[in-house]
Structures are given as structure tokens and as C-alpha cells.
Amino acid sequence: MTAREGHAIDLDALVKPLLGAIVVGLVITVAILLVGMLSLVRRTSRLRARLDALTRGEDGDSIEDVIDSHLDRVQAMARGVDDLTARTRALEAASLRAFQHVGLVRYNPFEDTGGNQSFALALLDANGNGWVLSSLHARGGTRVYAKSINGGKSDAPLSEEETAAIRQATA
């Protein structure tokens, strides 16, 4: 044995007694890692199940199918709103020509008839256009007259009652 060999350490003698402890330590570490891995696998599968439940539609569709379906419905609603807007514009334009203002004055033009059976009826649109219908009731019969109204004015002369009916309609 040389001087170097005299100082040499016998590794086999040092490692052999610790080899059993090292193996036991490695086995325990592997067991702990396996338990941890199994726990993570379980948690991951639970999370996957929850995610699948959240992203599944009513019929079991994927979230993409549900979103596509909703987008189709939104686009159909937008088309419906556009249709309703067009129809509303047409109705608004037509309503300007419809009778919106009504005035009715009942009166008794003759002393020999009883009650206010005669009347003047003004029917006007939003622009003050329309007509006045007058009915004169007498013992011998009833006469009906119509006069055109444009912008709240008549081309023909109006009676007091017809003027009052127009004033009532435009008030």
C-alpha cells in the first residue's frame, strides 16, 4: 500500500450500510410522488367534468355550437327589427293622412224643431287637411253638406258651427 493508498477511503464500506436507507428514502419519495400525481389526476378530471358541464348546451352541444345558435338568433332578431322599422315608417307616413283630429258641434238651426239634432263634424289629419260634414235637421227632412278643408281652411264659406267644429278639432 502506498502513501496514497493509506489515505484512501473505502467507498464500498461507506456506501453499503447507507444503501438500504437510500433505497428506502427513494421508495418513500416515489410513493409520495405517485400519491401527489394521483391527486392531481383526480382534481384535473373533476375540473374537466365541470368545464364540460359548463360548456355543454341544452342538447349536449359544445359551447361553439351554443354560441353559433345564439348568433343565428341574434341575426334573425336584427332582421326582424329592421322589418319592423320599415313597417313602422310606413305606418307613420300613412298615419299622417289618417283622421287624427275630430270636432263635433251639435245645434238647433230652426226654432220649429226640437233638440240639437243638427251637427257639424270636422275630421282632420295631422296637417289640418280633411273635411267638415254638416247635417241640418228640419221637420221636412235632413240635408247633409260636406266641405273640404286644407291646412285648417276651407275654400267655401263656413257656418259658425262648422268653424267651431274645426276649432274644436285643432285644439
Q: What is the mean pLDDT of the chain?
A: 88
Domain boundaries, the chain: 1-55, 58-95, 101-170
Instruction: Over range 127-153, report the average pLDDT.
Output: 92
Percent of the chain scored above 70 by pLDDT? 91
pLDDT of residue 7: 62
Give the number of other CB atoms < 10 A from CB of residue 118: 20
Q: Model confidence at 128, in pLDDT bands (50, 70, 90)?
A: very high
Cα–Cα distance measured from residue 78 to residue 61, given in angstroms and rounded to the nearest whole number: 24
Q: Model confidence at 54, in pLDDT bands (50, 70, 90)?
A: confident
Per residue in 55-93, pLDDT (tens digit) is 776 676 777 887 888 999 999 999 999 999 999 999 999
Look up residue 159 and give its amino acid.
S
